[in-house]
Amino acid sequence: MQIIKVKDSVVGGKKGFEVFKQALANGAKVFGLATGSTPETTYTELRNSDLDFSQCVSLNLDEYVGLQPDNPQSYYRFMHEHLFDAKPFKHNYLPNGMAPDIVAETARYEELLSENPIDLQLLGIGRNGHIGFNEPGSPFDGKTHKVKLTQSTIDANSRFFEHEEDVPRYAISMGIGSILSAKQILMEAYGEKKADAVKAMVEGPITPDCPASALQKHPNVIVIVDEAAASKLN
C-alpha cells in the first residue's frame, strides 16, 4: 500500500484527481466509483477538469435497495449530481435497487463486472472498516450480493435522511472479491472518525473483522488520508 498523507480532503481531492488522470493516460477505460462524502472533493476536481471520459465506462460499488433513482438519497442521484451530469461517460452502471428480483440483479451486475474489468476502483471506508457495503464478517472472495446493513452503518448514514427510519435496511454491493479484482485501487479517508478504521486497514491483521484489511493483499493500492484519519498510524 502506498500511503499519501495530506493536510485535508481538499488537497486529498487534488491527489485523487491526479490518480485518475494518470490512470486515463495509461489507457484505463473502466472506473469503479464510490459514493459518500469522502470522494466528493475528487469528483469536484474531475468535474472541473478537461479530462475526457466519453470513451469510458463506470460501475458503482453499491446502491440502496428500495430507493427510486430520483430519490435524493439514491446513489444513482448522487453520482449524477456529483459527476455524471457534468462529465459524460460512454456508459454508467449502478446496481438497480428497484429490480423486482434482487438476486437476479446481483448476478446481472457481476456479469457486467466480468465484461468490464475495472482498471481503477475508488473507495471510501466506513467507520467499522466496511468497503462498499461489505460489513465486518463479509468473505474476502464475495461477489455482488444483497446486504443487510448493520446498525452502525444505518446510524452513520442517517445524517443524510430526515428520519432514521427512512434509511434503507438493505443494499446491493459489489463483494470484496469483486473489489479486489480491480487492477488498481484508490482509497480515500478523511477525518478522525475514520482513524480507527484506517489503522486496522493498514496496520491491523488481515481479517474479515475489518473488510478494508483485505486491501493489504492487493498489489496496487494507493491510500490518501488526511492528518486526522492518519492520526493513529504508527
Catalytic positions, written as ranges: 62, 128, 130, 135
In the structure grid, which three cell numbers stand for residue 55, read together?
Answer: 470513451
Contacts of 59 (CB under 8 A, 6+ apart): 30, 31, 32, 33, 93, 94, 109, 112, 113, 116, 118, 174
Three-state secondary-structure class, residue 89: coil
What mask, x for binding ligand GLP by CB under 6 A, covers residues 10 to 49? ------------------------xxxxx-----------
Binding to ligand GLP in span 53-112, by CB under 6 A: 61-62
| Residue 113 binding ligand GLP, by CB under 6 A | no
For ligand GLP, give the closer residue by CB, 26 or 37. 37
Binding to ligand GLP in span 151-180, by CB under 6 A: 153, 157
For ligand GLP, give the closer residue by CB, 53 or 133. 133
Residue that the C-alpha cell 481479517 belongs to: 207
Report the alpha-carbon distance of residue 219 to residue 70 in Å, rounded. 38
For ligand GLP, give the closer residue by CB, 56 or 79. 79
For ligand GLP, give the closer residue by CB, 58 or 157. 157
Report the alpha-carbon distance of residue 157 to residue 151 in Å, rounded. 10
120-123 β-sheet, strand order = 2-6, 221-226, 184-189, 120-123, 30-33, 57-60, 91-93
Q: Closest distance between ligand GLP and the C-beta of residue 25, in Å?
A: 26
Binders of ligand GLP: how many residues, by CB under 6 A?
14
Q: 66 near 98, Cβ under 8 Å?
A: yes
Three-state secondary-structure class, residue 107: helix
Q: Closest distance between ligand GLP and the C-beta of residue 11, in Å?
A: 17
Q: Closest distance between ligand GLP and the C-beta of residue 149, in Å?
A: 8
Closest CA to 202 of 165, 159, 164, 231: 231
For ligand GLP, give the closer residue by CB, 107 or 154. 154
Q: Which residues bind ligand GLP (CB under 6 A)?
A: 34-38, 61-62, 124-126, 132-133, 153, 157
